[in-house]
Amino acid sequence: MTDETTKAEVFEAGQAMRRKVLGDAHVDRSLAAATEFSRPIQELVTQYCWGEVWTREELAPRERSLINLAMLTALNRNHELGVHVKGAYNNGVTPAEIQEVLLQTAIYVGVPAALESFRVAESTLKELGADV
């Protein structure tokens, strides 16, 4: 965030990017489900992750999606992986490219993690109507 950019502007940019990648329905559900307790984390994610980082120009959203798929597999964060498979697909990543990322993760983070990620990705892609 530059000195000229306000916190509200970064939040709005994050909101726009989050909606572009994950879709209005997902963001609306996340925000509607926020409680007084969980609202601060939703605001942080929107401002920091989506507003400060995802809006940077050095990597395109498509590239950031590919990186997220690998990292979420490594961390075994299957719910978030499903969310980001949808985001990757929205960003133009093909099922074959998702498959390649997950194959690559098998080598570096382990076959069990990759196997589970394949299950999550295939199920998510089928929900999206992708040819898998």
Q: What is the mean pLDDT of residues 125-130?
A: 97
pLDDT tens digits, residue range 63-100? Answer: 999 999 999 999 999 999 999 999 999 999 999 999 99
- The rounded distance, in Å, linking the Cα atoms of 97 and 3 is 38
Q: Residue 44 to residues 41, 49, 68, 89: CA-CA distances in angstroms?
A: 5, 7, 18, 24
- For residue 2, give the amino acid letter: T
The fold for domain 60-131 equals AhpD-like (1.20.1290)
Q: Can you give the pTM of this predicted structure?
A: 0.90
Reference 26, options 73, 71, 82, 91; nearest CA is 82
Chain CA centroid to CA 77, Å? 11
Residue 5, pLDDT score: 75
Residue 2: pLDDT over 60: no
pLDDT in tens, 90-122: 999 999 999 999 999 999 999 999 999 999 999
- CATH 1.20.1290.10 residue window(s) in the chain: 60-131
In this predicted structure, the answer to whether residue 26 has a pLDDT above a threshold of 80 is yes
The C-alpha atoms of residue 62 and residue 111 are separated, in whole angstroms, by 25
**Rounded CA separation 125/106 (Å):** 19
Q: What percent of the chain has pLDDT over 90?
A: 95
